[in-house]
Amino acid sequence: MQVSDPTSHAGPCGPQDPADLAGTATSSPSPNPVAGAGAPPVPAASSAPRHLRVIACEIALREICHLAARSRNLLDLEFVSQGLHDHPARGRLEVQRRLDAVPPGVYDAILLGYGLCGRLLEGITARHTPLVVPRAHDCITFFLGSKERYQKAFFHRPGTYYFTSGWVECAQKRSRAGSGSALATPILSQGATLPNWEAWTRQHGESKARALMEVLREWTAHYTHGVLIEFDFTRSLGLAARVRAICARQGWQFEEWEGDLGLLHRWLEGDWRPEEFLMVPPGHRIVATFDEDIVRAEPVTEPGADVTHGGAAAVGVSGSSATAQRREDQPATGGPAGF
């Protein structure tokens, strides 16, 4: 396992009973209601180890490194500083630049450790090596263990802000970089991507789609709970006390949930189930679907196509890509950037 320059590279949901998702605000995390305890199994040694490049947001550095230390595969790790989703157009350029810097013919696949993240990944292209991308709206799915659990949590209690070791530590780093000292309430932007209006209209009808969109906007604007997603190997960091204090200052109810590493484990081990991971062959790019698949791959048909803007430019829809980029470069909304 190799890590590339870790220093510089570095949500919200079903059942009616809150106990189905989380317990009371105690120091013991409540169990995962969807996928169990989440401890990854010992990997099978039936197939030859693969040589894989991992390019991921540093928000999941501890979790990925924990799993990589146990992996049978040969993993070269590169972590990118958190925050690319704040400005998706610029972030997309950076992700594509790092992918393009990977030499051809070296790796069996490149594992891209991002969710759709405000359409950050839309238009990202596999040049010469297949990409493997988790089907996830954002990184909270990584820590909850499945997109199904994320969806269940979101619709049960959308006004929930999620904390992990990465969310706390990255917020502190950005606070120090901006002001010279850590903020008392370290919070980064966080929130679900609003669904596609046309897709929801087709599925639900215009009247119901409009009502659902209004509710979603209200949900993402107001938080009532703070949930710490905890793992055995992060408990020594003392996150519970710190997050509890943040929630008290914000007036949020604090809860602690047991995390699930199953999705990240399968990603690193090469257990790429199509319902969980998108395989992007060389010469294909990522497109948002706004359905349960979240993302799909489509061929890049135009010679020299500009794949860095996403949206209309990436999928060949007419329109001004310059205007689209200016619009996308506005800071992402959906979560409190600071209080």
Residue-level pLDDT at 178: 55
pLDDT at 156 over 80: yes
Range with lowest mean pLDDT among 38-47, 75-84, 101-110, 195-204: 38-47
Range with lowest mean pLDDT among 14-18, 176-180, 291-295: 14-18
Backbone angles phi, psi at 27, to 5 degrees: -80, -10
Question: Element (H or E) spanning 17, and its range?
Answer: none
100 confidence band (pLDDT: 50, 70, 90): very high
Residue-level pLDDT at 275: 97
Among residues 269, 257, 314, 336, the alpha carbon closest in space to that of 123 is found at: 314
* Token digits of residue 62: 């501890």
227 within 8 A of 167, measured Cβ to Cβ: no
Residue-level pLDDT at 211: 78
The answer for 95, left when phi > 0, alpha when psi is -120 to 50, beta otherwise, is alpha
Q: Strand pairing partners for 226? A: 161, 254
Our measurement of the distance from residue 72's CA atom to the centroid of its chain's CA atoms, rounded to an integer in Å, reads: 24
Which residue spans within the chain are E strands per DSSP? Answer: 2-4, 51-57, 74-80, 109-113, 125-126, 131-134, 160-163, 225-230, 253-258, 277-280, 284-288, 295-299
Among residues 276, 332, 300, the alpha carbon closest in space to that of 96 is found at: 300
CA angle 32, 35, 39 (to 5 degrees): 85
Backbone angles phi, psi at 199, to 5 degrees: -65, -40
* Token digits of residue 28: 């013991």
276 within 8 A of 269, measured Cβ to Cβ: no
DSSP 180: S
Among residues 277, 252, 325, the alpha carbon closest in space to that of 142 is found at: 277
Residue-level pLDDT at 191: 47
Amino acid in the structure at residue 196: N
24, 51, 52, 281, 285 from 131: Cα distances, Å: 40, 13, 10, 7, 9
Residue-level pLDDT at 105: 97
Q: What is the mean pLDDT of the segment spanning 285-293? A: 93
121, 122, 332 from 117: Cα distances, Å: 7, 9, 10
The SS3 call for residue 141 is helix
Neighbours of 31 (CB within 10 A): 15
What are 73-84's pLDDT values in tens digits? 999 999 999 988
Residue-level pLDDT at 226: 93
DSSP, residue by residue, 271-294? ---TTTEEEE-TTEEEEE-SSTT-
73, 120, 125, 270 from 129: Cα distances, Å: 17, 20, 10, 15
Q: What is the mean pLDDT of the segment spanning 34-47? A: 50
- 118 or 263: which leads in pLDDT: 263
Backbone angles phi, psi at 334, to 5 degrees: 110, -5
Residue-level pLDDT at 203: 73
160 within 8 A of 24, measured Cβ to Cβ: no
To the nearest whole percent, how much of the chain has pLDDT over 70?
A: 65
Q: Are strands 131-134 and 160-163 parallel, antiparallel or unpaired?
A: unpaired
95 within 8 A of 112, measured Cβ to Cβ: yes
Burial of 72 (0-12, 13-18, 19+ CB in 10 A): middle
What are 212-234's pLDDT values in tens digits? 777 655 654 578 999 999 999 99
